[in-house]
Chain A
């Protein structure tokens, strides 16, 4: 079975500072990896995904993530955060089963302050 670990439940950061949200996964087979964001009182929205190819994936709102197979990680980064990036971020994996049965991490709350 697959699992996802997001060790940081909350990450406080000042505006315009860089940020990294950590995600590690466990799987005995190849997986697809995703980051979703949930803004307050809104539904989940896809930030970016890794399916194959280049291990550095760029997403919306200036976020990027790097797939590291040897470390089984898929950390999310942004070089300069904005107040509006305050949200809950979820890392997720799925097998290549043909549909998106996602296994989510417990989420990391990013708190950006002025």
Chain B
């Protein structure tokens, strides 16, 4: 596709359930990022992938959060035993290879709005 695609666009889940959020980056983009946008915390970095490896996962808030990337493309963010404070918009972004540095802008998806009831 032309842009970063995220699914589902909306997810309502009960407290304690597991959820999976999916991100399809722009074709050819080797760098992939997850951010979270919430009312209380604003926009926060969660994790960064270069290819299939995650050199920086320091923003994951707890061990209930995990992410993987396969084939250097699709990424899945998994939240286990969801809590109400996990309610937020989860944003995925991708960019061209690292060697291009910051001249390669981040392209953001429209996000997945997660509501934990």
* B residues near A90, Cβ cutoff 8 Å: 43
Asked, given contacts A41-B110, A42-B110, A44-B91, whether A103 binds B105 with beta carbons under 8 Å apart, the answer is no
Q: Considering only CB atoms, which chain A residue lies closest to B101 in the complex?
A: A98
Q: Could you tell me the distance between the alpha carbons of A19 and B102 in the complex, rounded to whole angstroms?
A: 27
Bound Cα distance from A105 to B95, whole angstroms = 21
Whether, in the assembled complex, B65 has its beta carbon less than 8 Å from a beta carbon of chain A, the answer is no
Within 8 Å of chain B (Cβ to Cβ): is A109?
no
> In the complex, are the beta carbons of B42 and A98 less than 8 A apart?
no
Report how many A-B pairs have Cβ atoms within 8 Å: 56
**B28-47 vs A: 1/0 string, CB under 8 Å?**
00010101000000111100
**Least CB distance, A66 to chain B, in whole angstroms:** 18
Asked, given contacts A43-B91, A49-B105, whether A101 binds B43 with beta carbons under 8 Å apart, the answer is no
Give the chain A neighbours of B109 by CB distance below 8 A.
Answer: 43
Contact between B48 and A104 (Cβ–Cβ < 8 Å)?
Answer: no
Output the least CB separation between B56 and chain A (Å): 6
Residues from 23 to 67 in A contacting B, C-beta threshold 8 Å: 32, 41-46, 49, 51
Interface: A71 (CB within 8 A): no
Q: Which residues in chain A, 68-82, are within 8 Å of chain B measured between CB atoms? A: none
B76 close to chain A: CB less than 8 A: no
Q: CB distance B108 to A45 under 8 Å?
A: yes
- B82-113 with Cβ < 8 A to chain A: 91, 93, 95, 98, 101-103, 105-111
- Could you tell me if A99 and B98 are in contact, using CB atoms closer than 8 angstroms? yes
B71 interface residue per 8 A CB criterion: no
Q: Which chain A residues lie closer than 8 Å to B3 at the CB level?
A: 43
In the complex, 14 of the A-B residue pairs with CB atoms within 8 angstroms, ordered by the A residue number, are A43-B107, A43-B108, A49-B102, A90-B43, A94-B102, A99-B50, A99-B56, A100-B106, A101-B45, A101-B48, A102-B35, A102-B106, A104-B43, A107-B43
A residues near B, CB below 8 A? Answer: 32, 41-46, 49, 51, 90, 92, 94, 98-107
